[in-house]
Amino acid sequence: MPMDMQFDLAQIAPVKTAPDAGCGAQYCDRCEVRDRAICADLEATDRTTLNRIGRRAVLKAGQTVMWEGDSSTLVANVIEGTLKLSTSTADGREQIVGVVYASDFIGRPFGSYTPHSVTALTDARLCLYPRGAFDGFAREHPALEHRLLQRTLDDLDRTRAWMLLLGRKNAREKVATLLLDMRNRVQADAQGTIELPLSRQQIADVLGLTIETVSRQVTELKRKGVIALVGRRGVRICDVEQLESIAEGE
């Protein structure tokens, strides 16, 4: 990979040197995801120690923070925003294999390489840690290791559900399932509208469909009054129970 495509901690971290530029105690106390993130079970003093080895990172939409196949040098808590996990086929095509949201953990602790690329779909904020230092801290704090294990098991459950989604569900069920997942993970505005982090082409790529099929299914859900479309990417789910029934093939 070209050197100008690679990032290290210093490059990806913000240039600002304000007192809260690192992930210090004050920043941690006001963190929006402190009760859901990987560090939630740590004592306050331990959380402060962990955050001394980290930096805040601000990503712009489209910026890649980890590259498939590179050495595993970074891990991170997602504080805000949505990112995609992707891999490349032999002929160079991108396949999106997952989407991560606020409070999710990215990177490969205790691993030697990065299995997929991680790219911001929206502007995002991370607490970013050198992987080696994070691994050392985790070994000394069973509460954090337990959280990592739980996240690994949760990821395994999501992977199994994803296999069902791609292998057994029809187009209508796939689109409904993805909309429900985003409803549960993306913060809605006061009117209940969520801004989809994926374009329709990206949704098609994720679900193994064509963009025309995705558009037809979205239009049909709108026609039935299950969802309402707001602006270019806004979706408001008007009938959650019906959407759940559709997702389950009922």
What is the structure's pLDDT at 53? Answer: 86
Question: Is the C-alpha dihedral spanning 149, 150, 154, 155 positive or negative?
Answer: negative
Region 56-83 average pLDDT = 91
pLDDT higher than threshold 70 for residue 68: yes
The structural domains of the chain, with segments of one domain joined by +, span 3-163, 170-247
Once rounded to an integer, what is the mean pLDDT over residues 124-152? 89
Q: What is the per-residue pLDDT for 25?
A: 52
For residue 24, what pLDDT is reported? Answer: 52
Q: Provide DSSP, 15-50.
A: S---TTSB--HHHHHT-TTTTTSTTTTS-HHHHHHH
Query: Which whole number is the average pLDDT over 151-166?
Result: 74
- Please determine, for residue 13, whether its predicted confidence score (pLDDT) is greater than 80: no
pLDDT over 70 at 3, yes or no: no
Q: For residue range 127-137, what is the model confidence (pLDDT) as tens digits?
A: 999 999 999 99
Choice among 112-116, 137-141, 155-159, 194-198 with the minimum mean pLDDT: 155-159
CATH of 3-163, one of 2.60.120.10, 2.60.15.10, 3.40.50.620, 2.40.110.10: 2.60.120.10
pLDDT average, residue stretch 107-112: 88
Task: Please list, residue by residue across 180-199, b when 16 or more beta carbons sit within 10 angstroms of its beta carbon and e when fewer do.
Answer: bbbbebbeeeeeebbbbbbe
Please say if the pLDDT value at position 19 is more than 60. no
Q: Would you identify the CATH topology of the domain 170-247?
A: Arc Repressor Mutant, subunit A (1.10.10)
At 27, the pLDDT band (50, 70, 90 cuts) reads low
Residue by residue, DSSP assigns 120-171 as: ESS-EEEEEEEHHHHHHHHHT-HHHHHHHHHHHHHHHHHHHHHHHHHHH--H
Tell me the per-residue pLDDT of 75-109, one tens digit each, with 9 for 90 and over. 999 999 889 898 888 888 887 888 888 889 999 88
What share of the chain has pLDDT > 90, as a percent? 34
Q: pTM for this one? A: 0.77
What is the residue-averaged pLDDT of the chain?
A: 83
Please state the rounded mean pLDDT for residues 198-216: 89
pLDDT class of 155 with cuts at 50, 70, 90: confident
Statement: residue 232 has pLDDT above 70: yes
Fold: same for 3-163 and 170-247: no
Rounded Cα gap, residues 79 and 240, in angstroms: 27
